[in-house]
A and B are shown apart, each in its own frame.
Chain A
Amino acid sequence: MAATTGSGVKVPRNFRLLEELEEGQKGVGDGTVSWGLEDDEDMTLTRWTGMIIGPPRTIYENRIYSLKIECGPKYPEAPPFVRFVTKINMNGVNSSNGVVDPRAISVLAKWQNSYSIKVVLQELRRLMMSKENVKLPQPPEGQCYSN
């Protein structure tokens, strides 16, 4: 929160990530996305896991998509790397390894440092509901990318 108030204030990376960690644990938001550290001992706060619950009335309905998010050293100035772990068929996601193409997803392409992991996850979920994605045939549930 503090990161966005002053335009000139740059919040250090770790502070930001700790804030996001706390938000993830407290379940801020509407309950359709979740995120947290992949490894609680990870002091660098780099590797995160995310979860998106498929929106209703789409083909993703009621599936739970697991993602890996990597916040590099330049985060939040640079966008994180996002990768789906659960197989999904969606525009902007590489179908063989689940990597989310940063150029295809608007929040990643036009990243701002006020964005956060939550924003990324919510945006991906919103994209699931977009016309171009809402009916794409999906692989059977429960499959994961091999890497």
Chain B
Amino acid sequence: MAENGESSGPPRPSRGSAAAQGPASAPAEPKIIKVTVKTPKEKEEFAVPENSSVQQFKEAISKRFKSQTDQLVLIFAGKILKDQDTLIQHGIHDGLTVHLVIKSQNRPQGQSTQPTNAAGTNTTTASTPRSNSTPISTNSNPFGLGSLGGLAGLSSLGLSSTNFSELQNQMQQQLLSSPEMMIQIMENPFVQSMLSNPDLMRQLIMANPQMQQLIQRNPEISHLLNNPDIMRQTLEIARNPAMMQEMMRNQDLALSNLESIPGGYNALRRMYTDIQEPMLNAAQEQFGGNPFASVGSSSSSGEGTQPSRTENRDPLPNPWAPPPATQSSATTSTTTSSGSGSGTSSSSATGNTVAAANYVASIFSTPGMQSLLQQITENPQLIQNMLSAPYMRSMMQSLTQNPDLAAQMMLNSPVFTANPQLQEQMRPQLPAFLQQMQNPDTLSAMSNPRAMQALMQIQQGLQTLATEAPGLIPSFTPGVGVGVLGTAIGPVGPVTPIGPIGPIVPFTPIGPIGPIGPTGPAGPPGSTGSGAPPGPPVSSSAPSETTSPTSESGPNQQFIQQMVQALAGANPPQLPNPEVRFQQQLEQLNAMGFLNREANLQALIATGGDINAAIERLLGSQPS
């Protein structure tokens, strides 16, 4: 009968392979199977053709999990699935589950930071306090970095980026992922001496315009910076890596406790949005993006900022090293959740100071320095960029304005501890040096690779000469070479984060080339008695294409030679008697009422001459 008609019946949708409706496809097509992909944090279902390869499967997964295919590791039934295998080969059928691990790309030591981040974009609020703790603790670092002009980024560890800010980023990443390096940095005595000077730290930090902005918005930060106790404590802790870790742990604990207080989570969130975010965003231009941008936007921030294993030293995707002490402020924040806002903001600022210090130093001690120099010679533009960077400028300026500060920094350099007379001589020369740094001629000299090479050659030549024919030196007019070197090496100074210290410290990494040995004929009084006056004009020409030495003056040359001498003399450094060194400090301590000379001396030796720290040691407790 007709009615029966052809019910065309239910339309027969010819389902494409994208159908996710289970096994209803046409027989000729490969069967679509539903496979669940499970990560430790979440799981998703995927519908893929049965005969697809693992590679194709990964591509589909990478879209949904927002990572790259080479970051994905698939595991099924205890086996890792290789890209060229097929799903059938492993027996993956409909309804089965495959495990997924998302690796990070930057894992020099095998500890990954990204995977949790990538995998955990929608996570439970329970993980929020953790993640908030790390942003809090880490965001301060970008500031510290910024304030020093991120010069630390310069020890690029051989990265070949020509873009300065890229260099910085890479540096940060490398730094972060390498706890050993962090340790190395922190243990560098130069860092430590730097860190022990709160005034210096404060000044450097204040010089950063972003910091200034932040301070305007959050006056607590300026309180923090101005509070010498906190600064000192921070720096103290910064010097002690083990303590640092402890602090970080405590802070994390405190913060997670905070979360459990009613209203605590909100406070944390406020903290983050009010303080960290602007800080991070402000630092963004230098660090290539706010890693926490996505974190802040979702109410439950990603596991990505979960502090990684061990002592929370390595707070994951944040761009900068973990700051040390926030413990004092952290504890206050736990007690008063309302005060937590200010507490943590102060803590993050504290972190700044230390972070600043973190980066200042070890530049010299890392092998990266060598490669950096090499890069510099290869890439003049880099230097131009570097030197013209605004923060660099501001730092230089602040140093010029405050010659004492600069003097102090320089003098703390280990090179000089061996040679107090040199210190005295250096002092007056400092302003001249600083001038030189800012001299655009200097800049162009530095950016001239041939000039740099020539200088290197001169140095090498002088060194060879020194070893081959030491007697020849005085008659040779090394003043020329050294003078040229000195001034030209001076400009290499800014390569290191501390401008004026530059000329001195980079001698160390230029180590093999550097120690000109006895070529500094006009030795400082008391060293070699050869006393050939430095006068020699820049007549006999070193093959120099530098333009800066034209401003060479007698005192400058002499100064430089003395420096060189000191450098030579500083290997190996012999410390004069500590009593003599600390004579002045001992007297001060005496005047304050610490009458036990032995104990004073011990404390001074232990703190390297820092009176404030020595006092703390003597008192035997940390004033809070």
- Interface of A with B (CB < 8 Å)? 21, 24-27, 30-32, 34-38, 40, 48-51, 53, 56-59, 61-64, 66-67, 134-135, 138, 140-141
Contacts and interface: CB of A to CB of B under 8 A. Distances in A.
5 contacts: A37-B77, A51-B78, A61-B112, A62-B110, A63-B110
Contact of B78 (A36, A58, A62): A36
B104 A51 contact: no
Q: Which of B39, B40, B92, B111 has the most CB of A within 10 A?
A: B111
Nearest to B96: A25
A51 B309 contact: no
A48 B115 CA distance: 27
A57 B43 contact: no
Nearest to B77: A36
A27 B38 contact: yes
A49 B111 contact: no
Contacts of B77: 21, 24-25, 34-37, 49
Given A56-B116, A61-B112, A51 B80 contact: yes
Contacts of A32: 40, 99
Contact of B98 (A27, A40, A58): A27
B40 A53 contact: yes
B79 A27 contact: no
B91 interface: yes
Contacts of A49: 77-79
A50 B39 CA distance: 16
A75 B494 CA distance: 70
Contact of A31 (B40, B92, B110, B310): B40
A135 B38 CA distance: 27
Contact of A26 (B97, B112, B306): B97
Contacts of A48: 78
B110 A140 contact: yes
Which 7 A-B pairs have CB atoms at the shortest separation, nearest pair first?
A: A36-B77, A27-B97, A49-B78, A62-B112, A31-B38, A141-B110, A35-B78
Q: Which of B76, B77, B91 has the most CB of A within 10 A?
A: B77
A56 B309 CA distance: 6
A15 to B, nearest CB: 18
A53 B111 CA distance: 13
A62 B75 contact: no
A48 B79 CA distance: 10
B36 interface: yes
Interface in B311-336: none
Nearest to A61: B309
B140 to A, nearest CB: 22
Contacts of B103: 62
Q: Which of B38, B39, B110, B112 has the most CB of A within 10 A?
A: B110
Nearest to B97: A27
Given A35-B78, A62-B101, 9 more contacts: A25-B91, A31-B38, A32-B40, A34-B76, A36-B76, A40-B91, A51-B75, A134-B309, A141-B110
Contacts of B40: 30-32, 53, 56
B114 to A, nearest CB: 9
Nearest to A138: B110
A56 B306 contact: yes
Nearest to B116: A56
A58 B307 CA distance: 10
A62 B115 contact: yes
Interface of B: 36, 38-40, 43, 73, 75-80, 91-92, 95-99, 101, 103-104, 107, 110-112, 115-116, 303, 306-310
A27 B98 CA distance: 7
Contacts of B91: 25, 40
Contact of A62 (B99, B104, B303, B310): B104
Given A27-B38, A34-B99, A53-B40, A61 B79 contact: no
Contacts of A27: 36, 38, 96-99
Q: Which of A26, A56, A59 has the most CB of B within 10 A?
A: A56
B308 A56 contact: yes
A25 B99 contact: no
Contacts of B75: 34, 51, 53, 64
A51 B101 CA distance: 11
A25 B97 contact: yes
A57 B307 contact: yes
A76 B306 CA distance: 39
A82 B360 CA distance: 50
Contacts of B95: 26
B146 to A, nearest CB: 30
Contacts of A24: 77-78
Nearest to B112: A62
Contacts of B107: 62, 141
B38 A25 contact: no
A32 B42 CA distance: 11
Given A31-B38, A48-B78, A64 B110 contact: no
Contacts of A25: 76-77, 91-92, 96-97
Q: Which of A25, A36, A62 has the most CB of B within 10 A?
A: A62
B250 to A, nearest CB: 16
A87 B111 CA distance: 15
A84 B79 CA distance: 13
A50 B78 CA distance: 4
Contacts of A66: 78, 80
Contacts of A53: 40, 75, 99, 101
A51 B308 contact: no
A85 to B, nearest CB: 10
B309 A57 contact: yes
A39 to B, nearest CB: 10
B130 to A, nearest CB: 9
A21 B99 CA distance: 15
Contacts of A134: 309-310
Nearest to A21: B77
B81 to A, nearest CB: 11
Contacts of A61: 111-112, 308-309
A55 B91 CA distance: 27
Contacts of A38: 78-79
A51 B79 contact: yes
B544 to A, nearest CB: 47
A51 B99 contact: yes
A108 B75 CA distance: 25
A49 B596 CA distance: 69
A60 B77 CA distance: 21
Contacts of A59: 111, 309-310
Q: Which of A31, A57, A64, A135 has the most CB of B within 10 A?
A: A31
A50 B36 CA distance: 19
Nearest to B41: A31
A43 B62 CA distance: 36
A138 B107 CA distance: 14
A134 B97 CA distance: 29
A138 B112 CA distance: 14
B308 A26 contact: no
A61 B91 CA distance: 28
